[in-house]
Amino acid sequence: MGSLTDRLQTLTETVKAHSHSYHVLNAPTVTDTEYDALFSELVDLEKEAGWFVADSPTHRVGEPPQAKFKTCKHGSRMMSLANAFSDDDVKAFALQTGTVVEHSHHPQAFYAEPKLDGVAVNLVYINGVLATAATRGDGMNGEDVTAQVKTIKTLPSQLAGDNIPTKIEIRAEVIFHKGDFALLNVKQLSAGEKVFSNPRNAVAGTIRNLDPRVAAYRPLAIYCHGIGASEGWEKPAYQNLVIKQLSRWGLPICSPCMVVLGVDGCLAYFKDIQENRSELPFEIDGVVFKVNSLADQKKLGVRHRDPKWAIAHKFPAEEVTSVITSIDVQVGRTGALTPVARLVPVRVGGVEVSSVTLHNFNQIKQKGICVGDTVIVRRAGDVIPEIVRVVQEGENRVPLAAPTNCPSCGCATIGTLTVFCTNGMNCPAQLLESIVHFASRKAMDIDGLGGKLISILIHSGLVQSVADLYDLHYYRDGVIHLPRMGEKSTDKLLAAIAESHNRDMSRFIFALGIREVGESTSAILASKFGNMHSLMNAKMTDLERIDGIGFEVAAGVVSYFAAPHNQTMVSRLLDFKGTKWASMPTRPQSQGSQRLAGKTVVITGTLASMTRQEATDRVVALGAKVASSVSKKIDWVIAGENAGSKLPKAEQLGLVIINESQFAELLNG
């Protein structure tokens, strides 16, 4: 029993310390997932022991208000939510609620909504006018942040419409939208100030700043999701009707929310939100299910700190901790040296992560990263792994300096923020990556020619330049005897290389891997110059006259074609018979050939009739520019199936959105 007692007391103090760091200091010492795991372990341990330590975090909400703020007493207690981490947890929750309210013979109705990851606040409106706003605090008393919350532009100072209570508490979450958070960090960085590690910390730091001008300067957002105590008003019977009433009063409501039936409805909603969460404008860490009937909510009641009628179904861990075992330096196709941290493998958001790109050596210095450090790892945008910060320094820390020599070829490097190898295609690593890019799907699309096979071809001596790919048919017997090859594989590879002769000039330019030249820019260059020889001889002034081509792009093009080894390689490629990439197809010149001149479009989603690149080529050929991001300057947004986050932003800006059939009409005049 002694060991159980010791563990219980130790774990209680550990969880309390982490809670204080999170709620009061706004400086989490563990990830949310690790905290949830410790908290769940403490709950189980208290059940096993049959007792709990005084002031246990399992029996209280948040932390007491900070002394620097005036205290606001809540009319009704603000609660936390119990967590579900699996489908079985949700099933158990549904069974428990259904049993208590006697819904075991037909599906229970739940109100489902995204779980915002921000700072909870309690808004008090008296006779329809916003009187106070307070943080959750310890559930009964919160910090008065009225002045800070009143700066939020989307929050009305007065409720609209009728049926307005004499007094009502409205529960809400203050957040940053993803785009606003990114812009805030850019401003922080340019001002030489602290960069926030995540939106939630930025919100907490903003709301708890005593100067309301800080909140006014930062683009906070707020969403209302429930009510507390109220006077002079008859509540609706259901949660979804409460939310509708809040919306009618002009309060901002989070979406997508809906009523679902039973466990199947809950799990289907969870899956849908999880698959599409990257398209949402804000960060969420799960979804919330609430019994929809307010009468049933009352019957179910509460536990120590959370209501029995609601549960938060959390997503798989998006932030975890790991240890850096080494930092390697990779050389890309442009010669850029990129440090890559190797980690003890961990699962983040359902994906195993063992390496994280650190982008440049300045980032290593800024984040204070060294081999042996314990770091927080997350998947940015649910896709790209990144190191957030160091949480525990390792022993014998030695900062990694930018190499003065290329780790691949040993030649000298240049640059400060980004470091480059000066050896060009004579560097084995640059050669490999340049051929990988040349053969990639959006470039020459040579099926079956991946990095491992390219490496084998290079080490065999058969390929020392991109142009050598088109001579491989002369060495068929040599290719057959390479590792991983054979007659069938060789013939398939040679056929794929021969088929790539059909790619057009735009894709060829992109395949060359010219610095600063992407797909859209390649299409513009192909359209304006018409053939590769004209482009190769273009001067800076010729390029900078083109709308959409700035100084950096022009310099990248001129520098690329000035290099002797690039001239030799491109000339060889242009000499191959049967290729279509030497010039743009001849187009009939008519009055309407440039009828989209001066227009700027954005293409988002999947088009059934053509690829994204083909769509880009078509509109560029008609004189339009293709932008990569949505802004007020865009003339049309071409939206295919499964359009991403650009579509709602375009709708918000009131831009003209056209579907694929309308796009076809546009192309056909």
DSSP 472: G
Q: How far does CA 448 lie from the centroid of its chain?
A: 30
CA distances to 36, 53, 60, 409 from 5, in Å: 21, 10, 20, 60
Q: Do the Cβ atoms of 615 and 603 come closer than 8 Å? A: yes
CA distances to 93, 101, 226, 299, 626 from 295, in Å: 18, 9, 15, 6, 55
Runs of H (alpha helix) within 70-127 = 87-100
Q: Do the Cβ atoms of 621 and 587 come closer than 8 Å? A: yes
d(CA 538, CA 540): 7
Residue partners of 481: CB distance under 8 A and separation at least 6: none
Runs of H (alpha helix) within 368-450 = 428-439
Nearest alpha-carbon partner for 370 in 348, 331, 344, 341: 341
Active-site residue, from 91, 115, 187, 599: 115
Cβ atoms within 10 Å of 569's Cβ, excluding its own = 18
Provide Rg for the chain, Cα atoms. 30
First to last CA, the chain: 83
Q: Do the Cβ atoms of 407 and 400 come closer than 8 Å? A: no
* Residue 115: active-site member: yes
Q: Coil, strand, or helix at residue 32?
A: helix
Name the token pair of 523: 């299409």
Q: What are phi and psi of 351, to 5 degrees?
A: -125, 135
Q: What are phi and psi of 300, to 5 degrees?
A: -70, -40
Runs of H (alpha helix) within 285-358 = 294-300
DSSP 606: B
Nearest alpha-carbon partner for 508 in 418, 415, 582: 582
Q: What are phi and psi of 321, to 5 degrees?
A: -105, 150
d(CA 373, CA 352): 19
Strand partners, 341: 327, 356
| Residues classed as catalytic | 115
